[in-house]
Structure 1
Amino acid sequence: MECLPVEWQKISAQVVNRFKAVAGRAEMHISSEARGTITTLLSIRSVEVVDDIPGDAAFVFDQKIRHLKINRRGLERIYLMGTKRDFDGMDPVDFCEVAFSLYFFHEAHHISQRLIEFEDVQAMKRTAGEDKLGEIDLLADTVAAQLFAAIETENAFEGREFYCAAFVSALNFMVSYCFPAFGFSLEKKHKVQRALGIVLMAMRGQRAIQSGQLQNDFDLAIYPFFSKDFTEMMLMGLGGTPSMSVVRVYKALRPESTKALLEILDSGDIEAIQKAAKLLA
């Protein structure tokens, strides 16, 4: 079954309705960062999936009437990656609901961050730099996964273990479909750092499930900073008070090894990605 353009609007309505039905209860599962995004989401009066957004902007938000336009092109790029993998056994409509949910929640968090205009993003690149942009994008990815997991958990009337599994599932969806859809290269270090951060977060969540230590902050946003030659890495935990730890990685993070890791990330092979990422964990 194809996810035709007209269906994206129907899917957006379904996602919004499912969110609104459990928004109040979903707050108990998530970080304060994500709770702020729930407030933003509830303030949006209408959502429209459109083709007429100029340039590379993912969305346009009219703050006066609280109307959000989502760029269809981004959604269709994710959908195309799904078709190439035959959706890995998922129902195509279910696939589109996950894709829209993560895309929608990610962009809503940018509204919470007050990165609303496309020019705001360009100004951030010029001033704070691309590393800061990557960090902000990773936070939006994390919040999107948290919100997705919280809504799934509440709709299923489940608890912490279900939330953790749904959170990891959302991150793995990003790895399998969103990374290849939008791409990244060694020339875009902030994108590499963002991608690796998601992989490490997914591993951390999986370990929490296996160990049963679900009381820990397994859904903490983790952003890695590389040195220019990719031989050193610093990990920043972005939950509450930011904390940092320096990780010196020698043979595991030579530039050629990083290229190999990127090829694995592009493959969308979850098991291979997790195996490679264990070198860094």
Structure 2
Amino acid sequence: MKLVRFGPLGQERPGIVDREGALRDLTAHVPDITPDVLSRASLEWLSQLDTASLPIVPGTPRLGRPLVGTQQFIAIGLNYSDHAEESNMPIPAEPVVFTKAVSCIQGPNDEVRRPRNSEKMDWEVELGIVIGSRASYVDPAQALDHVAGYLLCDDLSERAFQLERGGSWDKGKGCETFGPIGPWLVTADEVGDPQQLGMWLDVNGQRMQTGNTAKMIFDCATIVSYLSQFMVLQPGDIITTGTPPGVGLGKQPPVYLQEGDVIELGIDKLGTQKHRVIAWNEGR
């Protein structure tokens, strides 16, 4: 299934995309796409609905973040060896873990803000894992049993904040609007093998990143298992799993985002995003 939320900001309604690509309204069956909806039993129940009987949503409404209620937005850094190389950092022996502020999560096509005093705003196309059931000390062989589905994420970053201001990477990762996710939350059964997904990102129509999740250093099962050794993962938590090469930091010379730039990105089976960069105070 492709679960979605649509409508104006703050007024989103739950929906599902049918096999023909039509957006259908789920409001009569669930109040919203929340962690409770992500349980195996709830997803099984939803999969039994006759989608053809659900109302078609007319027009092309705004798409919001495809779920609400996320408590943790966790990220894995340097998870593609060629990205580590372009960043002039060693290939990690264990997953590099940092967090993105939950407050940075937004819809897939909403404008993204260049933070005040930003010098080095960058892009990163990434596969996001959505947790469906509580995970604590799980083995890799059972780790994906705790996954409800997957989504597309742009792990926007401010490299000067991240790397030049001391302390953890978190400073440059959780700025307002730095977590566009969606357009859909695609359930695990529909995605199949998460390690066989092509991915790409363009800036102003120029291809910057091309990759495949097959080249992850630590695969999705390893990541979920690893994180569960240090924290309890809860339904609705999102894990974004690293980016392939081609980020602005790795260009020679480096290239960073400016107001007016347009970012487009996609992952096989998970849809696409498109967002424009605006100034931190634009429209306020």
TM-score calculated relative to the size of structure 1? 0.26
Higher relative contact order (CA 8 A, sep 6+): 2
TM-score calculated relative to the size of structure 2? 0.26
